Each structure stands twice: as C-alpha cells, then as structure tokens.
Structure 1
Amino acid sequence: MSAMWDLPDYDDHEIVHFIRDIDSGLSAIIALHSTHLGPAGGGTRFWHYADKMGAVKDVLRLSRGMSYKNAMAGLPMGGGKAVILADDSRTKTPEMLEAFGRAVEGLGGKYVTAEDVGISVADMLEVAKQTSYVSGLPAQGDHAGGDPGPFTAFGIFLGIRAAVRHKLDRDSMDGVHVAIQGTGSVGGRLARLLAEDGAKLTLADINDDAANDLAAELGGETASTDEIMGVDCDVFSPNALGGILDDASIAALQAPIVAGGANNQLARPEHGRVLAERDILYAPDYVINAGGIISVAHEYFAKTEGREADVSDVRERIGEIPDRLVSIWEEAKDSGLTSAEVADKRAQTLIGRG
C-alpha cells in the first residue's frame, strides 16, 4: 500500500486523523486540508464504503473541496471534512456520535463540523454533547442554523438561473428543462424552487418511489438513474454523490449546462476540459453549492461571539453566488481556461497555494 502522501488525492493535507473507538464501534476519518484562512469547516458524512480506501479517497477530495469552497465564498474558514464509516447495517448510535464528538474536541478547534450526507440535525445534537466545535444546530425564529440543506439548494437555484441567463440568454426559468439527479435533502428542495419558477423537471433518484412522488407533486417526469444523464434538456443538475462526470458520461450528456450541488462532480480535473470541448457550460461545484457552508459559518461565528446569526445576512451572502459564477465564466472565455481551472486558480491563491 502506498503511503498517505503518495495517494493521488492527497494534496498537502495538514492533518489526516484516523479514529477508532472500540466501545462504540466508531470508525471515522477527519481530514483537514487547510487552515490558512481559519478553522477547517466542513460536514460529516455517514456512508457505507465498499472498501476503506474509498473512504480515504472521499475524505481527501471532500476536504480539499471545502478549502476551495470556503475561500471562494469569502469565509474566514479553512477546509475540512469527516467521514464515519457505516457498517453493512448502517448502524448509527448515540454512543458512536458522542465518540466522534470527542475526536472533534480533541483537535482543539482546528475543525468545525456540521451535517452532510447521512447525518441529521438530531445527530449533530449528539455530537455537540462532547464538543462546541459544531454547527448546524436547531435555530429559533429568523436565526440561521439547523439543516444547511435548504441554504445549499437556494444557492444552486440562483446559480442555475445565472447559468441559463449566461448560456441561453433567457431571463426566465419558465419552460426551461432541468434534469435533476438526486432528489434528497438538496435536490428535492431545488426541484421545488425550480418548479415554483416555472421550470420543466425530469427527476431521478436511487429511491424510485421518492422520485415518482416528487414528480407527481410538481408535475414533472422521471427517468431512471441510468438514463438521467442522457436526457435531452437545458440543464443537467447533479445533486447526488460525486465523480459522475467522466469521459463516458460527458459524451452522453444532452444538455448545454451542468449546474448542481454534488461535490467533486469531475471524476478527474481534466474532465473540466472535456466539458469545455463540448461547449457545455460548467458551474464549478464548490462555488454554486456554497449556500450550506455559508449558513454553517455564520451560525458558528455568531455563536462564538455570543449572538444569533441573522438568516437575512445568510441569504444576502448566498445571493453573491451568481455574480461569482459569471465572473468565472467570463474569465474562462477570455483566458482560454476552463471554468473549473479558473475557479481552482482563484481558490488556490486565496489559501496561499497559488
């Protein structure tokens, strides 16, 4: 086996912390990519991996993405991520979550965690019994907090509208056909926002019943998970897991725009160039999906200052996402770089690695 720093997805990560708590059964990894701009912020994912190296690859890529995401969003946070390795039965107990909380506490504030795939607000409350370095906790009234998913969806919605305006020269979403891959916490909320704005929807999810029910509610159609990337549409919006844009899937795309909330959508960096060669406008994932971490960061820093975060401030910051995307697309056009390359160069400069 290669040493950690020889792995393709290792990118001078500051800390990769392997956690094993025998009493609770917890196996987890916390990766801190950069703390150049502040404590490393990023959620905790609960997932069953086919092999442990899959978990290592995931946490390395996700934590680097969080460094770029937080930097591009103008947040005083570095990038980190955690994965809890679920067993075959997806066993999750309060004891396991508390053990994870102790591991976060042991990093002394270098890492701030919150919800991600497979982790709920209730789970974060268990983690918070052992550490104060946690966000995404229940909020009251107009204060920011709780599940960051709705804020992520809102930012993606604004980004899709900007992409449609930029690429298709359309100021309205009325009749714009969006194919959404993944209708969970983020994708489902995004579908509702788009439907309210007049978009035509085709939905796919590994849970066929969930996709069918949502399509019936919103007047949309469904496709299988195998078919969704080949749907003839205006926007393909990936909102499930990452690594889905590779040579074969990009060749199958029948959409002039790719804009969605999944992390690490490009299987490898060179696939940004493959998209560009097909004249497909790509919204870099960590730019368009930053709404959730914007909410998490505002909540966390307000708490450290002894106040509540105002949800209107969060929505105002999320409202900056479209202009950021347009700036990236315009630089890409002028420079000959891809939008992914432009975003990466900007983010690397911001975290002191440019």
Structure 2
Amino acid sequence: MDISTYMEKNGHEGLSFFRDAHSGLKAVMAIHDTTLGPAMGPPKIASYASEDDAVLEALRFSYNHTYKNAMADLPFGGGRIIVMGDSAHAKTEALVRSLGRFIESMCGRYVITGGGSGFNDDDTELLLQETRHIIGLPVHHGGSGDSGIMAGYGVYHGLKACALEVFGTDALAGKTIAISGLGKVGSALAENVLKEGASLIVSDVRKPALTKWKERYGALIVDPGEIFDVQCDILSPCSVSNFLNHRNIKRLKCKIVGGAANNQLADQQKDAEALQQRGILLAPEFVINAGGIINFYAEIGGYKPELARSKTENIHTVLSSVFSKAKLEKITPVEAAYALAKEKIDQASGLRGVNQGMSRHRPADGMRS
C-alpha cells in the first residue's frame, strides 16, 4: 500500500501512529487539511482485519470531515483518530487516558470530540482530565450533552431540502421514510419526521430498539437486508459505512437518499453516478449530517443552543445550493458539494485551483495495495 502517494493525491497533511505498551493503546490519527483551523474529529475504537483497513478509514473520514466543516462554515479542518481494539475488552481507563495524553501532545493541532464510536460520557470525562483540546462535553462541564439530537435535527432539515428539490415542497407529511439504524441520530430523525406526519419504515440489527416504533407509532419493521427493497419516498442510512454499493443501488425503490451515516457509498464517485442515473437524489452525507459538529462548535465560549439550532437549520439552505450547482453544471450532488467546499477552503487560504495536492472537487480515491 502506497500511503504517501494516496495522501499526496488527496491532500492529507499528516498520519500519526500512537502506541503505549502499558495501556495497550494502538491508534492511528489522520489529519487532512488545516487551512480553516485545527483538525477536528471524533475517536473510534474497533477491531480491524488489518492495520491498512484502519488507516484507510481514518484517511477517508478525515478527508470528508474537512469538507463537512467547510460546508457548515466551521473553523476546523478534518481529522480522525482510530483506536484498534475491541471496545468491550481493550478499552480501559488507562487506555483512554493514554489517548488523551497523545491528543494533548499534538499541542492543539488536533481537537478531539466527546463521544464517538465505542466511546461514552465516562470516556469523555477521562479524556478531559488529560487534554484541553476537546469539545463535545457533558452538560455539567459546560458542554451541550448528547449531539445526536442536533444531528438528527439536521438530517431532518436536509431531507426537507431534498423533498423541495424532488417534490416541489419541503413538507414531509404523507411521505414514507425508511430509516436504517435507530441509534441516537436515527431516533432523533424519526421523532422529527413523525411530528410532521410522515410514515415510517424502520430497520436495525438490535431488535429491541424497534419495538417502541411499532407499538407507539405504527412503524413497519423490516430486516436490515430488506430495507433496500421497500417502497418509500426517502431512504435514510443512519447506521453503517459503505451502506450502498453497485449491487443494492439497483434494488432501491425511493426518490431520495439522505442520512446520518458516514461514508455511505462504497465507491463515492461511481455510486453517486449510479444513483443519479437512476433518478435518485443523493444528499451528500458530509452536508446533511453536520448537525452534530455544529452542536460541538456552539460550545466554544459557553454553549449557545440558539446558535446550534439556527446553523443546523441552515443545512436546508446549504443543500439547496448544492442541488442548484449540480443541475447547472450537470454533475452529481457529491461533486457539487466538494466544489463548493473547496471554494471556501481556497478563499480562506488566499489560493485558487489545486491546493496541497487536493484534486478537482471529487471524492477521495480508494486505497489500493
């Protein structure tokens, strides 16, 4: 695997490996672009088949996070830190504290967020004891608490923008929305669309999580593998990465795809084109799912809920501008969103055109061995 070539082609600034023998910490940190500000991103702890898989995920995530921050007008670049290990067994107080010390050693070049995949509020408390460079704090530390609520609220407003583009109205009443994944963000999204009078189809690998949606709200429950075949107006991926690929895209019976999951497409460029060819509107995930990081940003200097809410509602306007550019230039919404974000980054740096090896408003390349 030629990591340096991949990083140069996609504009990454740094890749760091951390190891602590005492705690067992083994982590990789990717920093994409810091033109707008320090790299910011959540941690993740998971087992990987190979170290290369963890590196690729960190690089891909940090790339999209740069553009997510740019599209949300936030003063951060893109970053990601991945801890390689099983969260149920490898994650100890010593490991989390060690991670915090490594973040602190970056001297502010990387800002970690509370929460993250495999991390909880207790871990945030531990990180806070070791580093100053952290946002996304519990309420009793002056933070905003659960960012999933605002993230779901943002996806809701993003879907309204999609509906306006496809149906001529942003009203979701009477629309059927299929949500894959009812974690914190998926549940918050579901609550918002139900208030507006939408019908729900839901899927989650955790069966108990589905019960209340059927009993209280009459949602139709389907198995995770069947969500691609349901007749619906909107499909909202709020669970795993690589949710859509060239095989299951052919099965879709929806007009819109937009959700909270990161890296929803197995191949961003080809799969975005495949959706467009089928007449399915795609909301780029790094635009529609920005509510969580907006909520984090609103903590700086003391949490300001009105700011978080207004900037999150603006996702509607931002997505509409993405769709307008895509139609005008006859490109996919993903390409349009990258182009708009790149313009913001170039403006901030005082440069135009290609910058730091970043290519012309396109998804990051896949890594090949």
TM category (shorter chain) comes to over 0.9
Residue by residue over 1:120-143, the C-alpha shift from the partner in whole angstroms, topping out at 9 and shown as x without a partner, is 2221111111001011111259x7
Q: Sequence identity of aligned pairs in percent?
A: 34
| Conserved 8 A contact 1:162-1:322 | yes
Greater Cα offset, 18-27 or 213-222: 213-222
Give secondary structure in 2 for the equivalent of 1:151: helix
| Conserved 8 A contact 1:151-1:295 | yes
One-letter amino acid of the structure 1 residue matched with residue 307 of structure 2: D
1:100 aligns to 2:99 (yes or no): yes
Structure 2 partner of 1:139: 139
Structure 1 partner of 2:155: 156
User: What does 1:1-354 align with in structure 2 at a 5 Å threshold?
Assistant: 2-7=1-6, 11-87=10-86, 89-114=88-113, 115-139=115-139, 145-268=144-267, 269-299=269-299, 301-302=300-301, 308-352=302-346, 353=355
Give secondary structure in 1 for the equivalent of 2:324: helix
Give secondary structure in 1 for the equivalent of 2:26: strand
| Conserved 8 A contact 1:211-1:222 | yes
Aligned counterparts of 1:251 and 1:293: Cα–Cα separation in 2? 32
Aligned counterparts of 1:30 and 1:206: Cα–Cα separation in 2? 29
| Conserved 8 A contact 2:24-2:90 | no
Segments of 5+ residues of structure 1 without an aligned counterpart are: 303-307
Residue by residue over 1:80-135, the C-alpha shift from the partner in whole angstroms, topping out at 9 and shown as x without a partner, is 11112223844321111100001101111011111222222221111111001011
Q: Check 1:248–1:155 CA distance in 2 against 1; reply closer, same or farther (3 A cut).
A: same
Aligned counterparts of 2:164 and 2:341: Cα–Cα separation in 1? 25
Greater Cα offset, 311-320 or 89-98: 89-98
Segments of 5+ residues of structure 2 without an aligned counterpart are: 347-354, 361-369
Give secondary structure in 2 for the equivalent of 1:262: coil
How far did 1:169 drift? 2.4
Aligned counterparts of 1:233 and 1:323: Cα–Cα separation in 2? 24
Give secondary structure in 2 for the equivalent of 1:30: strand
Aligned counterparts of 2:217 and 2:16: Cα–Cα separation in 1? 44
**CA RMSD of superposed structures (Å):** 1.9
How far did 1:54 drift? 1.7
Q: TM-score, normalised to structure 1's length?
A: 0.93
Aligned counterparts of 2:50 and 2:310: Cα–Cα separation in 1? 41
Greater Cα offset, 86-95 or 242-251: 86-95
Runs of 4+ in 1 over 4 A off after TM superposition: 7-10
| Conserved 8 A contact 1:26-1:99 | yes
Aligned counterparts of 1:110 and 1:40: Cα–Cα separation in 2? 6
| Conserved 8 A contact 1:40-1:80 | yes
| Conserved 8 A contact 2:17-2:27 | yes
Aligned counterparts of 1:214 and 1:49: Cα–Cα separation in 2? 33
How far did 1:348 drift? 2.3
